[in-house]
Amino acid sequence: MSDLYEVAIIGSGPAGMSAAGQAAKRGMAHVLLEKTDHLSDTIYKYQAGKFVMATPSNLALRAGGYEEGVSAGMQFDEGTRENILGIWNQHCGVNDPTIPVVEGEIESWGVNVKLNAEVTKIEGDKGDFTITLKSGEVLKAKTIILAIGTQGNPNKLRCPGADHPMITSQLDDPADHYDKHITVVGTGDAGIENALGLAEPALGNTVTILNRGKDFAKAKQRNADWLTEADADGKLKIRYGTSPAEVRDGEMVLETETGEETIPCDLIIARIGSQPPRGFIESMGVEFTSADRSAFPVLSPVFETTKAGIFVIGALAGYPLIKHCMNQGFDVIEYLASGESPKPADEPLLEEVFADLPGNKSVDYWLDVYQKNVSIFGGLSTLQMRELMLDSTCKAFGPGEVIFRRNEQGSSLFAIASGSVAVEVDPNDPSITVPIGEGSIFGEVGLISGRRRGSTIRAAEDTIVVELSRKAALKLISSSPEANDAVTRISIERQILQMFGSGLTPADIAPLVESAETVQVPAGKVVIQEGDEDKDLFILRLGSMLVEKDIGGRQIFLSYLPAGSFFGEMAVIDGSKRTATVKASVKSEVIKLDGEMFNALLDTKPQLRSKMLEVMEGRRQTNDFIESQKGDVGGALELYTKTAKFLSEQGIGEATDALLIDEKLCIGCDNCERACADAHEGLSRLDREAGKSFAHLHVPTSCRHCEHPHCMADCPPNAIRRGADGEVSINAETCIGCGNCKSFCPYGVIRMDPVPPKKPSLLEWLFFGKGPGPGEASYSWRKKNGDPDLAKKAIKCDMCAGIDGGPACVRACPTGAAIRVSPDKFLTFAKITEDVE
Amino acid sequence: MASVPGNRFKQDERRRNADHVSFLKHRRYRWLWIAVLLCLATGLGYALIDQEPRPNGGSWYGYTLGTIGLGLIVWLSLLGIRKRKITAGNWSLKAWTSAHVYLGLALIVVGTLHTGFQIGWNVHTLAYFLMLLVIISGIYGVIVYATLPTTLSNNRNEMTRGEMLEALTAIDRQLESAAQPLGRQQSDLVIRALEQDVFYGGAWGRLTGTYPGCATNRALGGFPEVAGGVDGASERVRSLLVKRAEQLAQIRRQLRIRALLEIWLFIHIPATIALLAALFAHVVSVFYYW
Ligand SMILES: Cc1cc2nc3c(=O)[nH]c(=O)nc-3n(C[C@H](O)[C@H](O)[C@H](O)COP(=O)(O)OP(=O)(O)OC[C@H]3O[C@@H](n4cnc5c(N)ncnc54)[C@H](O)[C@@H]3O)c2cc1C
Ligand code: HEM
Ligand code: SF4
Ligand code: SF4
Ligand code: SF4
């Protein structure tokens, strides 16, 4: 058994590496344990040459500032992957032949690094932890700092030979492999993308992809389509109902439905998911904030977990940006060494957040006010509060000032720290208002449904609020069960009030709210079946629904329901059987209300009843009209149904504003693409030809501005926002080019490119032939004239935000082929069957 | 956070509400009606106004018509700039094209009346015929714009240009290896087919869709369809050649439709430039020598 270390740091990413460097400087007995044979695996795995960003730019790097004169500290600034890793290697005295040595004076801190040291078990308590490595080696430490990131461990094949060297879970560049027999295991997106890349005919590989089942439920529809197409074209082979049975030198045994089969094999790509590190961490006795998959460990203000002596920092603590990671490594060591934590590095950032509030108070003062007054913040730790406020905006409003307006796009959540607001519930009469008081929240409907604000809200007195960005709000809901319950309850009540209009008070609907149930509905699932006799009323809280009816033996599309509508009212009110089928067009959430109770409410509110009857009548008329088309020659009804189905399969159902091209009008001039490029720094955000078509209606590869943008799922600097006009756009300043959004968008509309060089003007081109002319310049021209040091960043359609007149692609189409539509307006009989020519 | 009501919501809603209609039908044929009115008004003027000594470009009414015509032509020419300069503002190229087409057609009436039916061998008549040439090519353009897109879309069948070429490359690679066991004569045929440029055939071939020297078709001739498919290798090559021919045909159809959609611009634009030059000469000569 070895000596007892003061601190063992596990994981050598920016967080762990910075902690180890600081420990070394402080002369603490330390060890840095790294699983792989190089430092900082997450960054090591970035694409070669990737330009790494140092955001947020206004956050000081702690590690670099410690004790002037003692040292310059651990370095980190924006630069290429190679440069950053090269510097860190020198800091830590690691010699990695795959990373070039960086010239210049770089200090080595004498960090005690142990590579190839995967920690598999941690036992014991503060002051005496026992760390077991995969090799069986055992170490002892008083304190543990966990900085293992969120990558987790890739799952292994479950068959003999699972440790064979030809198996890998990582594919950097498909072009590294040619003329090989390659088997890809796993049909999620990663596996499919790898298989397609390897099957590029130019590489000459023989690619087989194993699918345990018959479908591709885990992959995006697009990827699944491409894969089956590639199979049909003979580019690769999909083996259904097949799983690996054994891996041997140069071959692989497959278990098929008809028995075992052996195929030649030189490389196996296993993309069967990874095991998140949570289980490993919980096994040490560390608690998480909630059962939600995206929850983080519960931490004290000094990053200590619920298990005394174990600290968690970095991405695993919920801070994915490198600068935050490095600062935390520094802070934790300082705390351990001095017993006192340095003023948090994010203090200046928080000062900025609170800068607009009156009274010139300190950060701690405001944190305290918000935490005490706002009920949904009740369950949060100080650290969580700080993190939450970093992504938020705090503001004071005077009486009568507008906080947001009806029909404005907004998906953020507001909470009132002091004062109160007035909600203008009636669009026609602003004097009718409903108050919301101190401590409560508002804006939750926009957050949940992704739709526009339903009413204008003004401050009723001097009021101080906080606006949580969508990301911060969702993080709060997923990590705090109390906040989740509160938001759900309030949103159900408000949604019912908003939907069924004035004249109702919270007291009237209290029993209804009490009995309400939120139900998740996966895409395609039927909520109401035509002919059934159930009697519930539904409010669509999130997502969208398709209404269909059996007419003459065929399922005919009746209409599209956006979030915020209710359905099922006919059966409730007149007691009839369900007259149509309602099913989810995308993943949705509905609030189920008890029909009986609702009827009882109607009995006491004749005004409400007449309003419901009105809505019902309107819907009935639409249905009757569509039904009356069934004798129509030319099959308009059929066309309508099929087109609506096609469009909703292409994601128009979750779109707020999507580009369509009517190929009966498109002359293929690509003026739309050129206009887009010219309106946006010279890169087009749409690919007209790519994408699917039906009945000459083409859905090009271009952003749909989804109600709940998938691309926002995991953007480390939170650079993707929904803007005032509903556009989902990426902030080029803060984007770090990690490519997460690109892989999350199911429609493949995000591209990664550096800003191209400026082109000579149109007149110079017209008269002197200077430059590449209108539209996106060729790749070679950009490369030749561009700045090679510019980072690749994510770019996508921003709906031409800030450009007066709106979308350039639409305005630039000479024939009217290019249109941008929203599903609630376009998925109607009149629009789809319109004769445009 | 605080909000200005000045966002684009209203504008965007209008766009999402309307806007699915072709340039010909734009705003219920607004520009057609305006053009018809213009023709009627100028025609009526021509018939009613007593022009001395006889109707021609030199009378005050002739000057009026000439000015309208010149203004129109200059404005019509500016479409070339508008199309390429996507400035901000509430305009659409569709509206411009719509107006361009109908007002351009109205020029037949305005311009002809302006001449007072005086035709001769001079720069004035040259300008007139150049105008007619531009208009006639424009009419062809409108006809192809209205009829060919559907064909283009059908032929494309969801494939992009790049994908069509890739598909061809994939077939070629298979052909290359499949042709290995063949005899000298047959493999020469295949090699020639593979070596031929995809875009061979020039402008004429592109427009007419005839490619008499197509090496793929010729190679197919060297692989007779054998009943029962005796020889494995040559049968396989044959079927690949058929595939190649089909893929080529799709690409060529695509080229042809695109060419038909664009060819007229090679008359429309140069003739416009010539027209502008002729008009300049026409106007200058009128003022200096008339
Ligand atoms: C493609 C991409 C681009 C990005 N670009 C940027 C950018 O430009 N700027 C920016 O600020 N951020 C960027 N990020 C985010 C940033 O890289 C990560 O959030 C950051 O690396 C997290 O640091 P960490 O120290 O917490 O963990 P990691 O960097 O993930 O390091 C964890 C380390 O722990 C090791 N480890 C794991 N388990 C064990 C174990 N059991 N025993 C021993 N060792 C173990 C791992 O091998 C790894 O080396 C990007 C992320 C990605 C994926
Ligand atoms: C004297 C009259 C006219 C002049 C000077 C004129 C000039 C032009 C010019 C300069 C362009 C731009 C071409 C380009 O840059 O791509 C153009 C395009 C066009 N013109 Fe005309 N034109 C005239 C009459 C007409 C008429 C009568 C028609 C139809 C009946 C017509 C139909 C078109 C069409 C369809 C386009 C293409 C629009 C596009 O694709 O963007 N033109 N014309
Ligand atoms: S601008 Fe219009 S006609 Fe031209 S390619 Fe785009 S959609 Fe087609
Ligand atoms: S980028 Fe993709 S996921 Fe994001 S809004 Fe656009 S279409 Fe939706
Ligand atoms: S709306 Fe603007 S940014 Fe989006 S595709 Fe069209 S031109 Fe490009």
Q: Are strands A267-270 and A181-185 parallel, antiparallel or unpaired?
A: parallel
Which residues in chain A have Cβ-Cβ distances shorter than 8 Å to B1?
A: 393, 395, 403-404, 412, 467
Which residues in chain B have Cβ-Cβ distances shorter than 8 Å to A679?
A: 86
Which atom belonging to ligand 2 lies closest to the Cα atom of B93? Answer: 41
Q: Does B26 touch chain A (CB under 8 A)?
A: yes
Asked if the model's pLDDT at residue A200 lies above 70, the reply is yes
Query: Residue B17: which of A698, A810, A825 has the nearest Cβ?
Result: A825
pLDDT at A72: 55
Ligand minimally distant from the alpha carbon of residue B153: 3
Give the best-scoring range by mean pLDDT among A200-209, A380-389, A806-815.
A806-815
What is the Å distance from ligand 4's center to B8 Cα?
20
- Helix (H) / strand (E) containing A261: strand A259-264
Q: Which residue has the tokens 């997460």?
A: A740
Omega of the bond leading into A717 within 30 degrees of 0 (cis): no
> Tell me, what DSSP letter sits at residue A502?
T
The answer to whether the Cβ–Cβ distance between A401 and B2 falls below 8 Å is yes
| Alpha-carbon gap: B136 to the closest alpha carbon of chain A (Å) | 19
The answer to whether A498 and A449 have CB atoms below 8 angstroms apart is: no
Of A411, A657, A710, A730, the one to substitute when testing ligand 4's pocket (max ligand atoms within 8 A of C-beta) is A710
Ligand minimally distant from the alpha carbon of residue A688: 3
**A402, β-bridge pairs:** A458
Query: Residue B23: which of A395, A669, A814 has the nearest Cβ?
Result: A814
Asked if the model's pLDDT at residue A245 lies above 90, the reply is yes
Distance CA A382, CA A388 (A): 10
Q: Averaged over A737-743, what is the pLDDT?
A: 90
Distance CA B151, CA B286 (A): 48
Q: Which residue has the tokens 């009026």?
A: B64
* Cα–Cα distances in angstroms (integers) from residue A257 to residues A215, A240, A241, in the given order: 15, 9, 6
Distance CA A184, CA A374 (A): 51
The answer to whether the Cβ–Cβ distance between B90 and A725 falls below 8 Å is no
Asked if the model's pLDDT at residue A634 lies above 70, the reply is no
- Helix residue spans in A453-505 (DSSP H): 470-479, 481-500
Which residues in chain B have Cβ-Cβ distances shorter than 8 Å to A451?
A: none
What is the Å distance from ligand 3's center to A691 Cα?
14
Query: Residue A405: which of B3, B83, B152 has the nearest Cβ?
Result: B3
Reference A721, options A523, A530, A469; nearest CA is: A469
pLDDT at A632: 67
Distance CA A624, CA A637 (A): 13
* Residue owning the nearest CA to atom 8 of ligand 3: A666
CA A630 to chain centre: 43
The answer to whether the Cβ–Cβ distance between A657 and B12 falls below 8 Å is yes
Q: Averaged over A721-737, what is the pLDDT?
A: 89
Residue type, A695: A
* Residue A304 binned pLDDT confidence (cut-offs 50, 70, 90): very high
Q: Which stretch of A585-589, A806-810, B7-11 has the lowest confidence by average pLDDT? A: B7-11
Q: Which residue has the tokens 């490594």?
A: A329
ipTM for the complex shown: 0.93
Omega of the bond leading into A756 within 30 degrees of 0 (cis): no
Which residues in chain B have Cβ-Cβ distances shorter than 8 Å to A804?
A: 8, 88-90
* Residue A64 binned pLDDT confidence (cut-offs 50, 70, 90): low
The answer to whether the Cβ–Cβ distance between B12 and A404 falls below 8 Å is no
Question: If you compute the radius of gyration of chain B from its CA atoms, what whole number of angstroms results?
Answer: 28
Q: Does B22 touch chain A (CB under 8 A)?
A: yes
All residues at 6 or more sequence positions from B224 whose CB lies less than 8 Å from its CB, including other chains: none
Q: Does A748 touch chain B (CB under 8 A)?
A: no
Q: Which of A236, A779, A815 to mutate to test the interface with B (most CBs of B within 10 A)?
A: A815
The answer to whether the Cβ–Cβ distance between B23 and A675 falls below 8 Å is no
Q: How many CB pairs under 8 A join A and B?
A: 162
Q: Does B203 touch chain A (CB under 8 A)?
A: no
pLDDT at A70: 40
Q: Does B18 touch chain A (CB under 8 A)?
A: no
Ligand minimally distant from the alpha carbon of residue B71: 2
Which residues in chain B have Cβ-Cβ distances shorter than 8 Å to A202?
A: 169, 173
* Residue A49 binned pLDDT confidence (cut-offs 50, 70, 90): confident
> Which A-chain residues 393-422 have CB contacts (< 8 A) with chain B?
393, 395, 397, 401-405, 407-409, 412
The answer to whether the Cβ–Cβ distance between A663 and B152 falls below 8 Å is yes
pLDDT at B230: 58
CA A315 to chain centre: 16
pLDDT at A451: 80
Backbone dihedral region for residue A4 (phi beyond 0: left; psi -120 to 50: alpha; all else: beta): beta
The answer to whether the Cβ–Cβ distance between B92 and A811 falls below 8 Å is yes
Lookup: tokens for A264: 């030649």
Distance CA A703, CA A684 (A): 12
Q: Does A201 touch chain B (CB under 8 A)?
A: yes
Residue type, B15: R
The answer to whether A488 and A735 have CB atoms below 8 angstroms apart is: no
The dihedrals phi and psi of B41, each to the nearest 5 degrees, come to -65, -50
Distance CA B240, CA B243 (A): 5
**A2, β-bridge pairs:** none
pLDDT at B1: 36
pLDDT at A65: 47
Q: Among residues of chain B, what percentage have pLDDT more than 90?
A: 58
Residue spans of chain B under pLDDT 70: 1-7, 18-19, 226-231, 290
Question: If you compute the radius of gyration of chain A from its CA atoms, what whole number of angstroms results?
Answer: 29
* Full 3-state SS string of A576-616: CCCCCEEEECCCEEEEEEEHHHHHHHHHHCHHHHHHHHHHH
Q: Does A510 touch chain B (CB under 8 A)?
A: no
Lookup: tokens for B14: 């209008």
Distance CA B27, CA A603 (A): 48
Question: Does residue A41's CB lie within 6 angstroms of at least one atom of ligand 1?
Answer: yes
Distance CA B267, CA B275 (A): 11
Please state at what angle helix A382-390 crosses helix A363-373, rounded to 10 degrees.
Answer: 100
Reference A438, options A421, A458, A457; nearest CA is: A421
Can you list the domains of chain A with their CATH numbers? 4-152+276-338 (3.50.50.60), 167-270 (3.50.50.60), 347-486 (2.60.120.10), 512-631 (2.60.120.10), 656-821 (no CATH)
* Residue A66 binned pLDDT confidence (cut-offs 50, 70, 90): very low
Distance CA B281, CA B277 (A): 6
Ligand minimally distant from the alpha carbon of residue A667: 3
* Residue A318 binned pLDDT confidence (cut-offs 50, 70, 90): confident
> Tell me, what DSSP letter sits at residue B230?
-
Which atom belonging to ligand 2 lies closest to the Cα atom of A671? Answer: 41
* Residue of A590 and A274 predicted with greater confidence: A590
Q: Which residue of B has its CA nearest to A395?
A: B1
Q: Among residues of chain A, what percentage have pLDDT more than 70?
A: 98
Which residues in chain A have Cβ-Cβ distances shorter than 8 Å to B11?
A: 805-806
Distance CA A758, CA A389 (A): 38
The answer to whether A156 and A31 have CB atoms below 8 angstroms apart is: no
> Which B-chain residues 135-194 have CB contacts (< 8 A) with chain A?
145-146, 148-150, 152-153, 156, 158, 160-161, 166-167, 169-170, 173
* Residue A2 binned pLDDT confidence (cut-offs 50, 70, 90): low
Residue type, A262: T
Distance CA A327, CA A640 (A): 58
Q: Which residue of B has its CA nearest to A392?
A: B1
Question: Does residue A705's CB lie within 6 angstroms of at least one atom of ligand 5?
Answer: no
**A5, β-bridge pairs:** A141
* Residue owning the nearest CA to atom 8 of ligand 5: A676
Q: Which strands make up the sheet holding A413-418, listed edge to edge?
A: A392-397, A463-468, A413-418, A441-442
- Helix residue spans in A680-755 (DSSP H): 740-744
Q: Which residue of B has its CA nearest to A413?
A: B1
Q: Does B256 touch chain A (CB under 8 A)?
A: no
Q: Averaged over A405-423, what is the pLDDT?
A: 91
Residue type, B76: L
Mean per-residue pLDDT of chain A: 89
Q: Does A698 touch chain B (CB under 8 A)?
A: yes
Query: Residue A812: which of B90, B93, B160 has the nearest Cβ?
Result: B93
Q: Which residue has the tokens 């691309």?
A: A711
Asked if the model's pLDDT at residue A68 lies above 70, the reply is no
Lookup: tokens for A573: 């009110």
Q: Does A762 touch chain B (CB under 8 A)?
A: yes
What is the Å distance from ligand 4's center to A653 Cα?
13
pLDDT digits (tens, 9 = 90+) for A745-772: 989 899 999 999 999 988 889 888 898 9
Distance CA B58, CA B113 (A): 12
Distance CA A182, CA A581 (A): 46
